[in-house]
Structure 1
Amino acid sequence: MSTELFNLTPPLVPAGKPEDLLLAGQALAASLSPLDNSLAVFVTNAPTSQLSKRPPGEEQPIYFSGIDAVPSSERRLFITDTLVIFAAFQNLIKTSRDKDPEWLQSDQNHTVMRKLAIDYVNFIKECWIHASQPAPRPDGPLQFSGDHYRSLYTCFSLFVVLYLPEAGYEEAPVGEELMEWLNIHFIEPSTEEGDHLSSLKSPWEDESFWSYLTRATLRGLSKASVFFFKVLSGHPSEDLQQLAESMASMITSQPRLQNFSAERDFAHASRRWKDKVKALRVEMDQIPETDRYDDFDNWWDRLSDIVGILEGRGEIVQRVCEELGADWKEVCAAWGVFVDPRLRRQDLLEVVDRVLDDMPPDPTNIEDLVHTSLFAGKPVEALLHASQLDRWLSAHLADIMEALSLIENLTYDEVSIRDQHILAYAEYLHSDPALWRITVDYMYSCGNVGQERGDEVLVRIPLRLKSSTSHGNEGKIRAGNVVGVLKDVNQTCFDYRREAARRTVCKIAAQTLVREKDYGLAVSYCSSAEDWPGLGRVVDRVLDEYITSGPASFAQYASDIAPSLHNLDIRHSSSQGVFVHRLMFAVRYSNFQQLRIKHDLQNAALDLIAMFRDDVAPKSWWAVLLCDSVDLLQHRSSLLFSASGAAELLGKLEEISTRSSQGCGGDYLDILARTIQGGGHKEALDRLKTVRLALARYYARSAVLSS
């Protein structure tokens, strides 16, 4: 027995005794729902067990379990709104491939992709802000916390910074962008801490002063740094006062890449600025050891760390970050600002490897692992971690990564890396059948495998065509050849050119409509699906109405299918023509019955003979039509049939009699026999004797009137 246990509610066996199920000769089985990705778990007899089994009639519970939690209202909003961006991205890819595969890598397309990626980031930000609002919430508790959306926000925005820079800036230094990303998403030092220190008369006496000032300088928060360096003008040490004034000027004048039109000018300004920092270091070193303390701390050591950061000394940057409780991300960002201001994206990997040797990421923090993989230039690994965080994230990152050629279009069992993550997200969406449109949108973007899966979703969507809903909304949307959900499914098939799926859906709809006796729409959908055998079955059901409900009901039902006949080309191949021919008979026969009901007997007689002469009536219905002719033959006011018409009837009657005597009665008598309660072929032949008698009398009357 497997060691894996299932906690079921209510329990099947006492807690801690799973072997009782085996002792009862039973096992658990599961069935996947065709509607969504939920499971039905139930008890079944173990096929190989020789132990006693429970009675077959004993009731057993069925446990329903969803593989994924159905998206809640706020999550559904997130899914539907980001679909708009995904669809725009797919349209861009399709347009590019239609023009030229290399055109996708153009600056113009790169700009559009960056814009769409930023749209993702901005929308995630909005969701994060919404999810972070304090309770209570009118729409109930959140399915995903604000912190979850914050994680998506940090990951996606980092991806944009590292892999989707502005066109023309791919080779530009990345340090300042990384620091800006860090300051936006991981705020340190805190605003509250700065407010506290600024409220003090002598903030340097507070134990958090130097750590705050160091962190503010490290993060490039120049306004806060300059403010507190100027505060040091009131420090008892004159040496520190002078150095603080120089530091404030130094921080204010630090070159920023965004202020230069050319990187060469930025690099030149950075070297000159570094020379000034070195001069400040020389000035600091001249301060005697005894003057480097105040009553609270060794201010010289503290200031030396800050100067070491400005000097770009990597070992000091890393040590200071460790002492401040910062992680590897802060070291890498500071490295690009102070240690190597010209650090490019492609060179970041070397820095990351060096830093991670001493400051590894948190293996329990999936968000941090995504960041690590993105910094380290490992997009495939980043996707794997992102899928653990949220399949939405891995799907949409993979979509952009493939377009940027960050991941190769490698296949695993005919599914590319990108498609694997998109399909995994689509399977999650499939947990909610109401999201079928979005589910197939993602599936149909994934090659042949995704298209096949999308087809399977479409053909299993409940069409809700039952007449029991006719008093509700579903009944109101019935119109013409379009019925509710079926219209949307058909449109989706047309949009994605899934003709085979569309025909299957039409066949399913036709079967449902037949059960509801909506024969007109059933024939229409059979025709649309080119399901000619299905069309034949619908016609047979209509003809059965004559047998079960009588001529009036049959005529009404058959009149519903008459319009479909005008839309069909009767010049089909023989295999299709047989079924269309049957439809033609049903319509012609219903017209005949309606003429009888209206007492338009002359035209009814003409129609009857025309059905025989045009070879419209199947042989199986000849006997029924001959019985219908009795009343017309016995009409007292006038002779409704011509001599040739009566001869036509007699010829059909003789053929039935002859072929029945030769053992082929089933071809001619089965349907007539069904109209006779408890009747068979013998009773059907007896019924046809009345036709022979009516014909004999008709000929007699005809002879008398013509003499």
Structure 2
Amino acid sequence: MQAPLSERRVFITDTSVIFAAVQNLLKVSRAKSVEIIQNDEARKAVCKLTNDYVNFCKECCLYASQNISRTEPLQFDPGHYRCLWTSFSLFAVLYTPEPGFDDAPVGDDLMEWLNTHYVQPSTQEGDELSSQERPWEDPAFWPYLIRTSLRGLSKASAFFLNVLSRHPSTYLQSLSQQLSPLLTNHPRLPQFSAEKDFAIASRRWKDKVKTLRLELDRVPEGERDDGYENWWDRFSDIVGILEGQEEVIKRVCTELGADWKEVCCVWGIFVDTRLRRHDLPDIVAQVLDEMPPDPTDREDMVHSALFLGRPTQALAEAAQLDMWLAAHLADLMEPVELIDSEPDDSELSLRQHYILAYAEYLRTDPSLWRITVDYMYSCGEVGRGMADQVLMRVPLHLEAPKDADAAGEEAARIRAGHLAGVLKDVNETCFEYQREEIRRMVCRIAAQSFIREKEYGLAISYCTSAEDWAGLGRVVDLVLEEYIAQGKSEPARAETQVTSADRVIYPLSQALNDTGTKIPAPGVFLHRLMFAVRFAEFHQRRASGDGQGAAFDVVTMFREDIAPKSWWAVLLCDALELLQNGGPMPFTSNDACLLIQKLEEIHIAVGQGAADDYLPILRRVTKRGEKHALQRLEVVRLALARYYARCGAIGVGGRPSGWNY
């Protein structure tokens, strides 16, 4: 199954808007407990949406017919879109009339459909005949006049009947003058406000036709041929059509190369002017016995099934012509109760079967995922399960572009932490269809993509959105691992990313607690997150020269017990340059005392054999053993002692009570 190309993709996308409108109509009707078939307003809406499909098929057919240069060849030729147009418009005529016209005679609607889609005779034929001095000598003259009479093309018929005023036969001259007003004044239902008036006018018109027949029969046998044609036989065929003679109509249509459709449409104009839609299948069945449809012509098979009132068969034939046609016909057939809405053994209704088959076709083009899931989500539990799988497999395109200049505005917004592009669309779709679990799954997938790119700030954001607390903990660990892996270099790239995102991350985490959201082991995950954010912020401030802010972060991490004990030694070593700074003193004497207390706790614990609890991170950062780590801490001890001494000398802070160091 070939993926849709350009013109087909436009066709699919634009008609999906109509499909969405149909689903919205059904949703509103269900909410109001309204049966479409029993509500005039709802039926009028269905009629309007059906005609929207018809009009768009027409527009696509006309576009495909244009002789213009194209960037790529058409995937489907104009003839294919014409088949969709003819089939959908026939469905509209037969099954979705305006409310109040369900039981109205259908002949005029069918003739309009026939003349719109199967134009005969051609304009070129008329032009050629009208240019001749004696057109009745042309073999095409009478077939042309008979065809215009069949099709109700009264202006063309009247023109050539007027031409016969120059015919050598005075009998034909007289008869043509009588026939012309009968054709131009043929009563048609749309001309009347009441069917009763139409019926009365039709009877009077039929009486005039009988009079014409009597006049025709009086023509002597020897005057019925003009040397080119037996004009009497041809004229008699036209009168026979007006009389509604079934056999004449069938024979004439066969001679003209017309098929069963023309006979059926003419039937409601001349044979039975009060033919109803529900009576049509019986008439069509009779005609098809003598003039069967072409089994090799899929369009003809769709039309015959629709004429016969067999919607299920019409859908089967339509699926062979184009799955789009079957899906959208089925979508309209179910609410107007043409097909059963109950599921079969596969747990799918007939409508759902064709909709999902069409959606599977759409999956050949991954870029159409949004439309694909719209169709799937309209198909019950089975469809929802299929749509969920599609959403979880939508390419999110979150990888950073290799060429920075190639990154568009959309990619820039994503990497700035905003929902945009495909990821935004997926989230909106999940929200629209209330697929919260799928939304969380997609956020987890996005988080994994950001983790692979070491975009830890974004990874934390999406883990939080997915409420993936275990994943959040893993990201925090990875953030801290970045620091460990880079040792005592400038602040790690991962940390600055976390810092740039912490105004989103930390408030969101806090909000989850404030609203009472149950987070598994919140003390574990939120504590680690708070430390990672504060630690990253400390390094950012230290690197930017904000010694006061960096010092505040260090003290806060110790005082509020944010920092894990395994990181105490690292924090003290990282604070060394703040202690040795010859400029403004960022720590108060109380702050310095706190740092000294923590340092002493480390030394005491290590002396008691707890080095693995207090020094593992520092050992990894320095990439040396315990001895070197302790030497680093001795440097910190000396710096703290000098700093505290400076505090006492210049009166910074105050000496805490009970201080015996």
Alignment TM class, shorter chain as reference: 0.7 to 0.9
- Number of residue equivalences: 631
| Structure 2 Cα separation of the partners of residues 291 and 345 of structure 1 | 44
| Structure 1 Cα separation of the partners of residues 527 and 572 of structure 2 | 20
1:430-465 CA-to-partner distances (Å, cap 9, x unmatched) read: 322333333333333333333333333333233223
Match of 1:69, as an amino acid? A
Instruction: Within 5 Å, give how 1:99-498 maps onto structure 2.
Output: 99-102=32-35, 105-135=38-68, 137-412=69-344, 413-468=346-401, 469-472=403-406, 473=408, 474-478=410-414, 479-498=416-435
The reply on whether 1:687 has 2:612 as its aligned counterpart is no
Cα pair 1:85 1:116 within 8 Å, conserved: yes
Match of 2:93, as an amino acid? V
Picking from 444, 455, 463, the partner of 1:507 is 444
1:54-95 CA-to-partner distances (Å, cap 9, x unmatched) read: xxxxxxxxxxxxx323322x3333233323322323222222
| Structure 1 Cα separation of the partners of residues 340 and 94 of structure 2 | 18
1:107-133 CA-to-partner distances (Å, cap 9, x unmatched) read: 222222222222222222222222112
Deviates more, 1:102-111 or 1:381-390: 102-111
The reply on whether 1:582 has 2:528 as its aligned counterpart is yes
Distance 1:316-1:577 versus aligned 2 partners, 3 A rule: farther
Deviates more, 1:554-563 or 1:335-344: 554-563
Q: Percent identity?
A: 54
| Structure 2 Cα separation of the partners of residues 78 and 89 of structure 1 | 17
Cα pair 1:467 1:516 within 8 Å, conserved: yes
Picking from 558, 564, 568, the partner of 1:618 is 564
Offset of 1:612 from its aligned partner?
Answer: 4.8
| Structure 1 Cα separation of the partners of residues 372 and 214 of structure 2 | 66
Cα pair 2:4 2:365 within 8 Å, conserved: yes
Offset of 1:607 from its aligned partner?
Answer: 5.5
Deviates more, 1:441-450 or 1:179-188: 441-450
Match of 1:84 in 2: 17
Q: Secondary structure at the match of 2:521?
A: helix
Match of 1:527 in 2: 464
Offset of 1:658 from its aligned partner?
Answer: 5.0
Offset of 1:583 from its aligned partner?
Answer: 0.5
Distance 1:671-1:244 versus aligned 2 partners, 3 A rule: same
Instruction: Within 5 Å, give how 1:533-612 maps onto structure 2.
Output: 533-550=470-487, 552-554=490-492, 555-563=495-503, 564-569=505-510, 571=513, 573-593=519-539, 608=554, 611-612=557-558
Offset of 1:670 from its aligned partner?
Answer: 4.9
Cα pair 1:627 1:687 within 8 Å, conserved: no
Q: Secondary structure at the match of 1:363?
A: coil
| Structure 2 Cα separation of the partners of residues 95 and 486 of structure 1 | 29
Cα pair 1:620 1:669 within 8 Å, conserved: yes
Match of 2:509, as an amino acid? L
Cα pair 1:632 1:640 within 8 Å, conserved: no
1:216-256 CA-to-partner distances (Å, cap 9, x unmatched) read: 11111112222223333333333333332222232233211
Distance 1:393-1:631 versus aligned 2 partners, 3 A rule: same
Cα pair 1:660 1:668 within 8 Å, conserved: yes
Cα pair 1:634 1:694 within 8 Å, conserved: no
Q: Secondary structure at the match of 2:457?
A: helix
Offset of 1:343 from its aligned partner?
Answer: 0.4
Offset of 1:676 from its aligned partner?
Answer: 4.4
| Structure 2 Cα separation of the partners of residues 641 and 78 of structure 1 | 70
Match of 1:68 in 2: 2
Match of 2:375, as an amino acid? Y
Match of 2:653 in 1: none
Deviates more, 1:234-243 or 1:257-266: 234-243
| Structure 2 Cα separation of the partners of residues 98 and 701 of structure 1 | 74
Q: Secondary structure at the match of 1:166?
A: coil
Cα pair 1:493 1:502 within 8 Å, conserved: yes
Supply the RMSD in Å over aligned alpha carbons: 3.4
Deviates more, 1:411-420 or 1:643-652: 643-652
Deviates more, 1:292-301 or 1:591-600: 591-600
1:297-352 CA-to-partner distances (Å, cap 9, x unmatched) read: 32222222222211112122112211211101001001111111100001100011
| Structure 1 Cα separation of the partners of residues 115 and 601 of structure 2 | 98
Match of 1:556, as an amino acid? T
Q: Secondary structure at the match of 2:405?
A: coil
| Structure 2 Cα separation of the partners of residues 89 and 632 of structure 1 | 68
Distance 1:303-1:487 versus aligned 2 partners, 3 A rule: same
Distance 1:543-1:694 versus aligned 2 partners, 3 A rule: closer
Match of 2:652 in 1: none
1:607-658 CA-to-partner distances (Å, cap 9, x unmatched) read: 5565455442335435545665788999999977666764454445545665
Cα pair 1:519 1:560 within 8 Å, conserved: no
Q: Secondary structure at the match of 1:526?
A: helix
Distance 1:484-1:221 versus aligned 2 partners, 3 A rule: closer
Cα pair 2:259 2:291 within 8 Å, conserved: yes
| Structure 2 Cα separation of the partners of residues 316 and 493 of structure 1 | 63
| Structure 1 Cα separation of the partners of residues 607 and 548 of structure 2 | 27
Match of 2:169, as an amino acid? S
| Structure 2 Cα separation of the partners of residues 502 and 416 of structure 1 | 28
Distance 1:533-1:288 versus aligned 2 partners, 3 A rule: same
Distance 1:405-1:620 versus aligned 2 partners, 3 A rule: farther
Cα pair 2:622 2:629 within 8 Å, conserved: no
| Structure 1 Cα separation of the partners of residues 520 and 230 of structure 2 | 102
Name the structure with the higher helix share: 2
| Structure 2 Cα separation of the partners of residues 86 and 597 of structure 1 | 57
Q: Secondary structure at the match of 1:403?
A: coil
Cα pair 2:57 2:84 within 8 Å, conserved: yes
| Structure 1 Cα separation of the partners of residues 201 and 268 of structure 2 | 16
Match of 2:236, as an amino acid? S
Alignment TM-score, normalising by the size of structure 1: 0.81
Match of 2:655 in 1: none
1:474-506 CA-to-partner distances (Å, cap 9, x unmatched) read: 544344433443223323333333322222222
Match of 2:528, as an amino acid? R
Match of 1:70, as an amino acid? P
Distance 1:117-1:597 versus aligned 2 partners, 3 A rule: closer
| Structure 1 Cα separation of the partners of residues 286 and 322 of structure 2 | 29
Instruction: Within 5 Å, give how 1:38-53 maps onto structure 2.
Output: none
| Structure 2 Cα separation of the partners of residues 701 and 503 of structure 1 | 50
Distance 1:582-1:234 versus aligned 2 partners, 3 A rule: same
Q: Secondary structure at the match of 2:119?
A: coil
Cα pair 2:5 2:75 within 8 Å, conserved: yes
1:144-198 CA-to-partner distances (Å, cap 9, x unmatched) read: 2122221111111111111121221110000111011101111111222222222
Cα pair 1:481 1:521 within 8 Å, conserved: no
Cα pair 1:128 1:150 within 8 Å, conserved: yes
| Structure 2 Cα separation of the partners of residues 85 and 535 of structure 1 | 42
